[in-house]
A and B are shown apart, each in its own frame.
Chain A
Amino acid sequence: MTELFVRLIRRPQGFVGIALLALIAMACLFGPALAPYAPEKIDFLGRFRAPGWQNWLGADQFGRDILSRLMVGARSTVPMALIATLAGSAAGAIIGVGSAYLGGRIDEAIMRTNDAVMAIPGLLMALLLVSTLGNGAGNAVIAVAIAFAPGMARVTRSVALNIRNQDYVKAAVARGESAAWIIFREMLPNAMAPIVIESTIRVSFAVMLFATLSFLGVGAQPPASEWGLMVADARQYMYQAPWGLIAPSAAIALTAVAFNLLGDGLRDALNPKDER
């Protein structure tokens, strides 16, 4: 594990990714304590104040400090994306490995259902689910997780099909092991590398999907300082105060880039080429 970490930070993508993620984690953990103002503190004299010494990233239409709102909002944006990705990846991985293990007609049935779900674009799927389940952060997490599971199932199944043909799986079958043991203990650990890489890349999609849902008004509700919601709120005043739009957009982009870099770094670190 430590060896993997060392290999990861030796690569430029891995190092930058981890550094950025550490910054974001700091904001999630200590954001409210470090923020210069309270996120909902309204200052009527400071409406649309440009970035400067008073408000580093400027102020919005109510004179709320954008930097403070971003730091507090990290807590409601990034962990949600992480939870949704983890849930979606776990479900997808289990479906994929299970389908590969069972094989034959059951595999066919599972994978065709999977294809049908995949044919619906992720955002549309999430919107559909949220409109059925009702607005709110919790439901948005479930919606994103369900939208992510089929893609993960596909990736995992292709890896698991190779593992299914390995002798240690055959040995377990010949020994009379239960299906649950074979799926969870023999096959899943060996399919872990691609699952981990795929999910880190997917976290960035989740951040953007959440931002989109909030932007469309079906995710977090005002006055929450969720980043997507901040973009939605600032849209009306785009020409008056572009900083209100730029700062949260940049934060979303930065998070997405950080997770993507981590994913790239992990992919290289987990596949050491020619390293003896």
Chain B
Amino acid sequence: MIPALAIKNYTLDYATAAGPVRVLHDISLEIAPGEVLGLVGESGSGKSSLAWALMRHLPENAREISGTLRLGDTDLLRLHPRELTKIRGRRLGMVFQDPSTALNPTLPIGRQVTETLIQHRGLSKREADALAIDLLGHVELRDPAAIMRRYPHEISGGEKQRVIIATAFGCRPDVILFDEPTTALDVITGARILELFARLREETGVAALYISHDLALVTRVADRVVVLKHGRLVEEAPAADIFRAPRHADTKALVQAVPRPERRLIHDKPGDEVLLAASDIEVHYGRASIFRQAPPPATRRIGLDVRAGEILGLVGESGSGKSSVARALTGLARFSGKVRFDNHEITAARDMNAAYRRDVQIIFQHPDASLNPRHKVGEILSRPLKLYGGSAAEIPRLLEQVRLPAPYAGRWPHQLSGGEKQRVAIARAFAARPKLVICDEITAPLDVSVQAQIIELLLALRAATGTAFLFITHDLNLIRQIAHRIAVMRGGEMVDLLPIEDFDADHVHPYTRELMAASPVPVG
């Protein structure tokens, strides 16, 4: 039987100013018709390059050294650009990582779906309209006829991804490439997209290449899993086995790094002294003007307290208001309500004195955006030292604390990897010797293995300094490993605030239960 997709001895280089860089080494893999192959690897392992090579949309500096790419009986490497447009979308579909950029914001959804159908299936406008409504209904979108008339900004991220999936399946391709389709979505939406994928796959029998950095997730959707490391295939195994019996050291490391709620990483108890108590916090964005009313507050009367040395988890899907709480507590957003910190009462950002600014530090989600690209690492770290007392001589110690070599002080942020940047951001927060550090989704953009290292580092810093953490995340498995208590937010309200021991109990809020069910638990 001819495989649906076959890659044989494929090697790819990128020509750069510093000479060629090899991104894929001698890759060989096959996908049988109807099979789903999971491709797992860290960022920079070349998994997206492989997807773009299959779509024949490589950057100009790509050099294909050797190998063949075959889709059924067609040799993709020999195709003329005009023949390619007949393959793309028609026989080889693709679903992208970020649904918000994959749809054209200036065209209604209907046009974007029907255009593909008219192009690839030769339908008339009317037939395409009818089929599009049918397809959108099939991906469980409510009122597909109304969705057709809407623009991308008028529907949610999960709905956009459904539209893209509907379009990809609508052309009945032989193979679909999924490039991290749930990474940009929150847990519950992502879980529903996966359920949809499983159902459609059963109905259509399409073959798929499912790319992700999340091993736990891939084992749930794929039949077979291959692991890619620095452009080399290191392991290939049935999905059911790879978790239970990883053979290669890199796979073992990946498996180790996956957070499991039952493996607790901290064992101590926090003190009883309340460090920060917030009550009735409502965060406001935008003011009322004569022409319009003020928008409703992003959070509704949130109250929480953090004890000295405690790790408090704050979880919820995107838009639940968890980051707004972080912004209020650091004076970045206007809020009403009361914050009590160290016997000092705060009702607005202007009440936050230098001592509060020093004691409460924040680390942001995106390490690329939180370091000024025009400042060297040394200067970035010297600012909190200058503001809060301390000398520049401490910079090597700060770097060592986050396990970076001292010469990094002379580097620019763009010369560091994502994980290293996040370490610098952590060092900047700890330069102030804070009592409370607010971590706003700090591991979300990182790979699982880097995430594990960052968590380990934070826990080591906590052991050394006794700092308390407010840890904001959407990854329930991760937070159950490290938190003493977990607060769950939905739609600006706090639905649950439980000690970790009570998390499996019966009296948890139904929404918390739903979140737990949606978090991918590793197989095996």
Contacts and interface: CB of A to CB of B under 8 A. Distances in A.
B331 interface: yes
B16 interface: yes
Given A175-B383, A175-B387, A177-B383, A167 B369 contact: yes
Contacts of B375: 185
A173 interface: yes
B332 interface: yes
A59 B59 CA distance: 58
Given A171-B362, A176-B354, A190 B387 contact: no
Interface residues of B, number: 29
Interface in B313-344: 330-332
A173 B372 contact: no
B362 A174 contact: yes
Contacts of A30: none
B357 A174 contact: yes
Contacts of A274: 59-61
Among A168, A170, A185: residue with most chain B CB under 10 A? A168
Interface in A164-209: 166-168, 170-177, 185-186, 189-190
B428 interface: yes
A168 B364 CA distance: 9
A185 B362 CA distance: 20
Contacts of A174: 330-332, 357, 361-362
B221 to A, nearest CB: 32
Interface in B356-379: 357, 361-362, 364-366, 369-375
Q: How would you classify the secondary structure of chain B's contact residues: helix, strand, loop or mixed?
A: loop
Interface in B368-411: 369-375, 383-384, 387
A57 to B, nearest CB: 46
Contact of A170 (B364, B384, B387, B432): B364
Contacts of A166: 369-370
Contacts of B352: 176
A166 B369 CA distance: 6
Contacts of A185: 375
B96 interface: no
A276 B387 contact: no
Contacts, number: 53
Given A176-B387, A276-B14, A171 B374 contact: no
A237 to B, nearest CB: 54
A173 B332 contact: yes
Given A174-B332, A186-B372, A190-B373, A167 B364 contact: yes
A177 B380 CA distance: 13
Nearest to A169: B372
Q: How would you classify the secondary structure of chain A's contact residues: helix, strand, loop or mixed?
A: helix
Nearest to B368: A167
A164 B421 CA distance: 20
Interface in B1-46: 14, 16
B58 to A, nearest CB: 11
A176 B375 CA distance: 18
B331 A168 contact: no
Given A166-B369, A189-B374, A274-B60, A171 B354 contact: no
Contacts of B384: 175
Contacts of A190: 372-374
Contact of B370 (A168, A176, A276): A168
Contacts of A276: 14, 16, 59, 61
Interface string B190-233: 00000000000000000000000000000000000000000000
A177 B387 contact: yes
Nearest to A168: B372
A176 B355 CA distance: 10
Contacts of B370: 166-168, 170-171
Interface string A109-151: 0000000000000000000000000000000000000000000
The 8 closest A-B pairs by CB, nearest first: A167-B370, A176-B357, A189-B374, A167-B364, A167-B369, A174-B330, A168-B372, A166-B369
Given A168-B369, A170-B332, A175-B357, 13 more contacts: A166-B369, A167-B366, A170-B364, A171-B425, A173-B332, A175-B387, A175-B432, A176-B354, A177-B387, A185-B375, A190-B372, A274-B60, A276-B61
21 contacts: A166-B369, A166-B370, A167-B370, A168-B372, A170-B364, A170-B370, A171-B362, A171-B364, A171-B370, A174-B330, A174-B332, A174-B357, A174-B362, A176-B352, A176-B387, A177-B383, A177-B387, A186-B372, A190-B373, A190-B374, A276-B59
